[in-house]
Amino acid sequence: KQWYQRRVAITAGIIMLAHCLYTFEDPFGAVSHAVKFLKPHGKILIFHEGESVCSELYTYMINRSDPNIFNSSLTHGDHTLTATKIESYIRDTHPELLATVTYGSCYYD
């Protein structure tokens, strides 16, 4: 009945990180940690914003605001983190992974 003391090796064929990397203190470390749980030839599917207005607006506001009122430590996540930055990190740090990026767009009238 001491199941909680037993360590079980958990591996996955696919791990999905959907719009959550903004919230990690170390998003790149979170990706590297997730890689440890992949089965051989496993996949990580990451949904994340690309180079978009969100990151541009966030950067604009951070650079022009009173830091006592609005700064990166007061916000919930790092909205300057983009898919391009994540892709570069994966290619540099995990060359064993095949990194493929697909960009999509959504427009509202």
104/88 Cα distance (integer angstroms): 18
Residue reference for tokens 């996540």: 77
Give the whole-angstrom CA distance, residue 17 versus residue 21: 7
Residue 19 has pLDDT above 90, yes or no: no
CA dist 34 and 90 (Å) reads 12
Residue with tokens 């300057």: 80
> What amino acid is encoded at 76 in this protein?
H
Location of structure tokens 């604009």: 60
Which amino acid does the sequence have at 32? S
Is the confidence at residue 62, as pLDDT, over 60? yes
Q: What is the pLDDT of residue 108?
A: 60
Give the mean pLDDT of the chain.
Answer: 80
